[in-house]
Amino acid sequence: MSELIARLAGVRFADGSVADVELHQCAEPVAEDAVFASMVLVGDRVGRYAAVYSPRREEWSVPGGWREEGEDVRACAVREVWEETGLRLDPAALEPVGYERFTPVSLHGRWPEAGGLMQLWRVDVEAARTELVAALDDAVDPCWLTAEEFAARAGDRFWWPLVATGMRPG
């Protein structure tokens, strides 16, 4: 069962596109055919979270991105985390946190024309001393942040309330 956390009208993105967005907390994965992107809240054993900076989106965020042709949602999440942080995840260890539902308002945007869902996962890793390294330039400067440091960098973003629901109490 999904719980609506927020309904946001007219969210403007860095590329100038606009969408209405709903944030839903949900402990079950959503239907794969509706998901166009997957992101992962990666926590370590000392209470820090993996964060990456997206030059395209001009923001700090959790690692993630678009599904490739024929790729399942968990495989997308695992690949994106590896590309953006160098961490290797077990797809079976991913826990659903919820999803973002995008309904396009403008005629252009990075989501599918009819809109769709972005699945958010959570995983804990034993990576307290692991250095994070980005393999591609679409997400740079990966680093470990405490919940407070992450909130200082991204707490004003529309998606933050959903990510915050996946953070473990410190």
Map out the domains of the chain as residue ranges.
2-166
pTM for the predicted model, two decimal places: 0.93
How far is 98 from 53, CA to CA, in rounded Å? 22
Structure confidence at residue 45 (pLDDT) = 86
- Residue pair 94/74 in contact (Cβ under 8 Å)? The answer is yes
Structure confidence at residue 9 (pLDDT) = 98
Structure confidence at residue 37 (pLDDT) = 96
Which pLDDT tens digits describe the chain residue by residue (170 residues)?
899 999 999 999 988 899 999 999 999 999 999 999 999 999 998 899 999 999 988 899 999 999 999 999 999 999 999 999 999 999 999 999 999 999 999 877 777 888 999 999 999 998 666 789 888 777 889 999 999 999 999 999 999 999 999 998 76
The top-level CATH class assigned to 2-166 is: alpha beta
In this structure, what token pair is assigned to residue 25? 């907390």
The CA-atom distances, in angstroms, between 39 and each of 50, 106, 107, 129 are 11, 23, 24, 22
| Burial class of residue 167 in the structure, from the number of CB atoms within 10 Å of its CB (0-12 exposed, 13-18 middle, 19+ buried) | middle
